[in-house]
Amino acid sequence: MSYGYLKIKWFGRFAFLLCVVAACRLSASAQSRKHFYYDMQNMLLNTLSPHDTTYIIKLIKKGDAQFSFSADSALSLYQQAWEKSRQINYEYGISFALAKIGSTYAHRHLYEKAMAAFRESLICATLSKERDALLPYIYELIGQMYLSQGQYEAAAKYLFFIAVHTDKQQDFRKKSILYINLTALFSYFPQPYQSSALKQMDYYSLQAEKYARQSGDSDVLAIALMNRGHLYMLGKDWGKSRHYLNEALRLSLKYNMKQLHYNTLLTIGEMYIACNRPEQALTYLRRLRGISRGINPYPQIHEAMLLGKAWYMLKKYPLAEREFILTRKRADQLQLPCPAVDSLFSDLYTAMGQDRKALLFYRASVRKRDSVLNRQQAESIRRLEIRSRIIQKDNELVQKQLMINGQQRELERKSFLVSGSIAGTLILAMLLLVLYRSYRHKQKFQQERIRSLQKEKEIDRLKAMMTGEEKERERIARELHDGIGGMLAAINMHFNVAEKKYHGFGEMNELTQIMQMLEGMADEVRKTAHNLMPSILLQHNLAEALQLYIAQVGVNNRLHIDLHLPETISIREKNIELILFRMIQELIQNIIKHAHATHVIIDIEELQEHLILTVEDNGIGFSKDENRNGVGLQNLQFRVKALQGTLRIDSEKNSGTTVQIKFDRSKL
């Protein structure tokens, strides 16, 4: 009994692969059909013209519907979708249509054309924004093509590509579907690969179930559970296999998933045949005939074969013959090779005593098996020839490489001598350049030092001149105060004595005016003396001296002055304070004499590296064309230069004047 099962198990696994793919792609449930086949198709509909992209997707959908009945019609529709996508540069449509074209070529065993289409599809997929969805789908199709050719190592490579891209997916439903497909594809591996394949299938089926439960999608969960049941059937763990298959059957009934319900019943029937319980298998397999309308035709081949096998095991040979004939008929209609049926016919007719028929079918099965072996041998020879040519070319390349290496060594020896001389020249040139740059740097440094010394000398000269000027001011102030001021005071005293001595003297208006003029002259002399030698600055700091000076000037000249000062003015030397005081004094006197202003703002601002003095008035101003280079401005420029500051004057006619003086604090 087990011998008969071994004859059909590989065809059974191929049928199971078709069942799972059909369950994922052609489920009778509208929700399932929409979810698997067209998830990727609708991802970019909003990125291009809705009319064009919708039309392309409809062409691909129509091709999918035609594929089971006419591969040529489906191919024509896929090619139309490809051409239309190229016209509008729709990368997703180009890649997806090419993948469909490659799949159709592979179905027709045109593997070179299929691979060419798949390669172009992969290139377009990498350029598409939806590469994470397209690449696993294309890898799956390539893996299926290699599996159908028996190239299991190449198929495994692309299956592992799918696993890598699966880990990048964030959609639990899509991850589950990808792991379902991996499980189904690994189930098709032959016996030499089966032990490692079962381990991979166990891992992928567990992942598929986990992500299906996380997604909450009943369709995908039912397929994942059916996968687990089939896996335990391969491992001959009948109890766990029944548990998972019954759970999948329950979900397919609950949510009316017709295709999945059919596939699950089929797998349960196969499980009971595998564990030598044909009566239970018939219970499930007979139910398939009532729900087969509208079902994918590929699993129906396996259905008929399993029914025939069940009847054969129960020794109901006519019924088994009927089912085997139906299996052959369905396989021929779909142009699907089915060598296992000839072997089953041989066993059946042997059991029925029809030895002649048994021999004919046995010979047919041997011929087909030999044909398969011959194709495999021819493929092995072709691969050996290719490897031999590759080895031969490698040897030729090695010989050429040895010759090139010898020539290269000779060139290296010659180039070493040349490069050595060039390197010596370059080193010498660099040394000369370094010496020249060092000399230029020293020369430049010396020139800068000379200029700095000259500048310091000029500044010292200016400061000495200012010191001499201040001393001269003090001398003139003392002479004014002690000499002229004293004489005016004495004259005034004599007038007062005369006024008291001679009655009627005070009634002379002319003499009274003279006395008043003398008093005014004495006040002016005293003020001039004080301005020339501000004793207030000797008694107070700069801020207090400015406040007292501004109060005096404002009262005498009816000028409103706003003074803005920092909390402290950190100037170390008294002579610097005196120079700043003279600058502000000069600016105020210029405003009084020339600007006719009523409002003045004086602002002293201390920054981290600079001291900024700003004086602004609302006077008549002056234009740039007017020559305003008077004595007062020259004195101001002289003092700014002495402290290595900068002076900027902004003025417009009838718009006032702003003077800004900026000093480096490190030089004050």
The encoded tokens of residue 364 equal 């047919």
Lowest mean pLDDT among 174-183, 361-370, 616-625: 361-370
**What do you get for the CA distance between the two ends of the chain, in Å?**
113
Q: Are 369 and 7 in contact (CB under 8 A)?
A: no
| DSSP code, position 668 | -
Number of CB atoms found within 10 A of residue 510's CB? 7
Average pLDDT over residues 49-62: 79
The token pair at 442 is 């020293």
pLDDT band at 1 (very low <50, low <70, confident <90, very high): very low
| Under 8 Å between Cβ of 311 and 286 | no
Q: Which residues pair with 661 in a beta bridge?
A: 613, 647
Question: H/E/C letters for each residue in 236-286?
Answer: CCHHHHHHHHHHHHHHHHHCCCHHHHHHHHHHHHHHHHHCCCHHHHHHHHH
Q: Name the helix (H) or strand (E) containing 565.
A: none
**89 φ/ψ sector (left φ>0, alpha ψ -120 to 50, else beta):** left
Distance, in Å, from the CA atom of 40 to the CA atom of 117, rounded to the nearest integer, reads 19
Query: Which of 31-45, 391-405, 411-425 has the highest mean predicted lDDT (pLDDT)?
Result: 411-425
Predicted confidence at residue 357, as pLDDT, reads: 81
Higher per-residue confidence, 257 vs 183: 257
- Bridge partners (DSSP) of residue 657 are 617, 651
Rounded to an integer, what distance in angstroms lies between the CA atom of residue 296 and that of residue 68?
8
Q: What is the H or E stretch that residue 190 is in?
A: none
**pLDDT exceeds cutoff 60 at 565:** yes
State yes or no: pLDDT of 416 exceeds 60.
Answer: yes
Of the candidate ranges 266-270, 330-334, 512-516, 582-586, the one whose mean pLDDT is the lowest: 512-516
Least confident of 116-125, 303-312, 360-369: 360-369
Q: What is the pLDDT of residue 388?
A: 44
Residue scoring higher pLDDT (52 or 189): 52
Residue 346 has pLDDT above 90, yes or no: no
Highest average pLDDT, of 152-161, 187-196, 290-299, 613-622, comes from 613-622
Taking only the tens place, the pLDDT of each residue in 573-620 is 777 788 888 888 888 888 888 888 889 999 999 888 889 999 999 998
The whole-number average pLDDT for the span 535-558 is: 75
pLDDT at 534: 58
Q: Cα(319)–Cα(309) distance, rounded to whole angstroms?
A: 10
Helix (H) or strand (E) holding 100: helix 91-107
Q: What is the DSSP letter of 237?
A: -
**Which of the given ranges, 465-469, 529-533, 552-556, 650-654, has the highest pLDDT on average?**
650-654
Which residues are CB-neighbours of 127 under 8 A, at least 6 positions away?
91
Residues contacting residue 17 through CB under 8 Å, at least 6 positions apart: 184, 185, 187, 188
pLDDT at 377: 47
The DSSP output letter for 191 is G
Length of the chain: 668
Q: What percent of the chain has pLDDT over 70?
A: 71
Tokens of 249: 């059957």
Q: Does position 117 have pLDDT exceeding 90, yes or no?
A: yes
Q: Residues 646, 662: contact at Cβ < 8 Å?
A: yes
Q: How confident is the model at residue 255, as a pLDDT?
A: 87
Rg (CA), the chain: 54
Instruction: Rank 23-27, 152-156, 348-352, 428-432 by mean pLDDT and report only the highest.
Output: 428-432
Poorest-pLDDT segment among 3-7, 75-79, 99-103, 405-409: 3-7
pLDDT attached to residue 567: 78
Give the 3-state secondary structure percentages of the chain, helix then strand then coil, rounded to 5.
Answer: 80, 5, 15
Residue 46 pLDDT class (50, 70, 90 cuts): very low
Work out the average pLDDT over 263-272.
91
Residue type, 511: L
d(CA 250, CA 257): 10
What's the rounded Cα separation, in Å, for the pair 185 and 200? 10
Phi, psi of 69 (to 5 degrees): -105, -35
Q: What pTM did the predictor assign?
A: 0.44
| Residue 654 φ/ψ region, left for φ over 0, alpha for ψ in the -120 to 50 degree band, beta for the rest | left
- Mean pLDDT over each residue of the chain, to the nearest integer: 77
To which CATH superfamily is domain 537-667 assigned? Histidine kinase-like ATPase, C-terminal domain (3.30.565.10)
Q: At what angle do helices 297-313 and 317-333 cross, to 10 degrees?
A: 160
The pairing of beta strand 560-564 with beta strand 599-606 = parallel
Q: Determine the pLDDT at residue 191.
A: 56
Strands 610-617 and 657-664: antiparallel
Name residue, tokens 């779909």. Answer: 334
Phi and psi, residue 649, nearest 5°: -120, 120
- Can you give the pLDDT at residue 314? 92
Q: Of 237, 230, 284, whose CA–CA distance to 261 is shortest?
A: 284
3-state SS track over 472-516: HHHHHHHHHHHHHHHHHHHHHHHHHHHHHHCCCHHHCHHHHHHHH
Q: Which of 109-118, 490-499, 576-585 has the highest mean pLDDT?
A: 109-118
Cβ count near 223 (within 10 Å): 33
- Smallest Cα–Cα separation from 100: which of 86, 87, 118, 84? 118
> How far, in Å, CA of 552 to CA of 111, rounded?
108
Tell whether the torsion through CA atoms of 226, 232, 238 and 240 is positive or negative: negative
Q: What is the pLDDT of residue 654?
A: 86
Residue 617 in 3-state DSSP? strand
Which range scores top for mean pLDDT: 3-12, 47-56, 171-180, 492-501?
A: 171-180
